Amino acid sequence: MNATELNESELQNLKESLLFQKSSILNKSHEFKAEQSSVVSVADEAEAASQDIANNISIHLHERDRTALYAIEKALGKIADGTYGQCEACSEMIAARRLQARPFTALCIECMEEQESHSNIYQ
């Protein structure tokens, strides 16, 4: 595996990135709640169907953001306890490039690929 431990500067940059992403998701969450509370009556079926599709997409995106927020909180906790960057499956260090691309990842590339290959078997 080609993983190295992060230096303090890299770790601080990743922590700031995680905090920014968390803030962004929380802001979107407030917007989502405001959007959901403002029910608008529509005049015809086509408009109602369009509104329903827009609501379903919005709910799906909100759920995806909630999942990301959980992963971000978990990553911030790992930074605090000194275990950030360690793969949850194999305990090896996750490559710095992977962490920079996806700071809240919990698995190294190899373990993620293995997990995906197993999930594809059951689909």
pTM, two decimal places: 0.76
Decide if 70 is inside a domain: yes
pLDDT digits (tens, 9 = 90+) for 75-121: 999 999 999 999 999 999 999 999 999 999 999 999 999 999 887 76
Q: Are 122 and 13 in contact (CB under 8 A)?
A: no
pLDDT digits (tens, 9 = 90+) for 9-34: 999 999 999 999 999 999 888 787 77
What would the two tokens of residue 43 be? 């005049």
Closest to 90 (Cα-Cα) out of 70, 116, 110, 71: 110
Amino acid sitting at position 24: S
Q: Which residues contact 109 (CB under 8 A, 6 or more apart)?
A: 95, 98
Tell me the longest C-alpha to C-alpha distance in the chain: 60
The predicted pLDDT at position 2 comes to 40
Decide if 85 is inside a domain: yes
Count of structural domains, the chain:
1
Q: For residue 64, what are the domain limits?
A: 8-121
CATH code, domain with 31: 1.20.120.910
